[in-house]
Amino acid sequence: TAPPSRTPASGTRPTPRPGWRKALTESALTVQRISSSPGRTKVVFNLTDCVGCRAHRGPDGADVGAYFTAYFYPLKRRWMSAGLTRQRVEQCFRVAPVQDPLANLQEAERWARRRLSLCILRSRLPSRAPLSVIFLPGVVYSEVRRPCRVMILVNPHSGRGQALQLFSGHVQGMLTEASVPYTLVLTEHQNHAREVVRKADLSKWDALVIMSGDGLLFEVINGLMEREDWQEAIQTPLGILPGGSGNALAASIHHYSQ
């Protein structure tokens, strides 16, 4: 087992640094250097900040080791700023207990899928809650099935017309890291989201997420309430990602979830 490192750049091979130990609890992944020398020897990754992980081979075909990469979004202070914001931290771990690349990959998959994924789930939930949650840092977590299938409605004209760019720049990658399958719906006119939600087969979705301002969420709620099965439909977990101009609801939900 090797220490945390950035994902190896294509064509490069990370320098093996032996003597690190990983420990996984329900709340944290700790990586500790086995060393008698002073200095920073322990790194703790809080699993509540982790959105997902994946196992993979390295870029060098001759490397028998396998890797698992975990994606964290811890709250960090920005340079010259007083407030804390979530910032992406990608950690790649090399796994090479034996000389067999396939066995090493299986071991990396074991870490990535069974151990880390399970711990991410447990760290987010009260002890007896079902193992299900939406993996988007900075939002209120709803209890939904995993893997959860999400319909994401984006109003490309909301705010300063940048909702789609915000989605591709900030959200899309995070959904991939968290292995959340989604369908993107770009609204084309006023009340489009309302119609889509009113007619949708909601059994296909575990959550509806809107990336816009308050107006689109208002449409989605109206669409749900206009259905014949509204009592069931309104139970669908809803998510809001700020993409509008005011974003009053997203701001207040986020504020009270802190």
By CB under 6 A, residue 251 contacts ligand ATP? no
Kindly state the helix (H) or strand (E) to which residue 44 belongs, with its residue range. Answer: strand 42-46
Using the minimum distance from each CB to ligand ATP, give the nearer residue, 4 or 244. Answer: 244
Q: Which of 117, 132, 155, 236 binds ligand ATP (CB under 6 A)?
A: 155
Could you tell me whether strands 182-186 and 150-154 are parallel, antiparallel, or unpaired per DSSP bridges? Answer: parallel
Question: What mask of x and - would describe binding to ligand ATP in positions 201 to 230, judged by CB under 6 A?
Answer: -----------xxxxx--x-----------
Sheet bearing 207-212, strands edge to edge: 182-186, 150-154, 207-212, 238-242
As measured in angstroms, the least distance from the Cβ of 131 to ligand ATP is 33
Tokens linked to 113: 């899928």
The residue annotated as part of the active site, out of 201, 206, 214, 229, is: 214
Q: Which residues contact 131 (CB under 8 A, 6 or more apart)?
A: 118, 121, 122, 125, 146
As measured in angstroms, the least distance from the Cβ of 232 to ligand ATP is 25
Tokens linked to 127: 């002890």
Residue 228 burial by Cβ neighbours in a 10 Å radius (0-12, 13-18, 19+): exposed
Question: What mask of x and - would describe binding to ligand ATP in positions 25 to 44, judged by CB under 6 A?
Answer: --------------------
By CB under 6 A, residue 236 contacts ligand ATP? no
By CB under 6 A, residue 153 contacts ligand ATP? no
Which range of residues in 74-82, 134-142, 220-228, 245-253 is near ligand ATP by CB under 6 A? 245-253
Q: How far apart are the first and last CA of the chain?
A: 36
Residue list 180-199, contact with ligand ATP (CB under 6 A): 187-192
Tokens linked to 185: 């719906």
What gap in Å lies between CA 151 and CA 180, rounded to an integer?
11
Which range of residues in 48-56, 111-119, 152-160, 168-176 is near ligand ATP by CB under 6 A? 152-160
As measured in angstroms, the least distance from the Cβ of 159 to ligand ATP is 5
- b or e along 78-111 (b: 16 or more beta carbons within 10 Å of the residue's beta carbon)? eeeeeeeeeeebebbbbbbeeeebeebbebbbeb
- Answer yes or no: 214 catalytic: yes
Which range of residues in 35-43, 174-182, 224-232, 243-251 is near ligand ATP by CB under 6 A? 243-251
As measured in angstroms, the least distance from the Cβ of 108 to ligand ATP is 42
By CB under 6 A, residue 247 contacts ligand ATP? yes
What gap in Å lies between CA 25 and CA 224, rounded to an integer?
40
Q: Which of 246, 251, 252, 257 binds ligand ATP (CB under 6 A)?
A: 246
Q: Which residues bind ligand ATP (CB under 6 A)?
A: 155, 157-159, 187-192, 212-216, 219, 244-247
Q: Which residues are catalytic?
A: 214
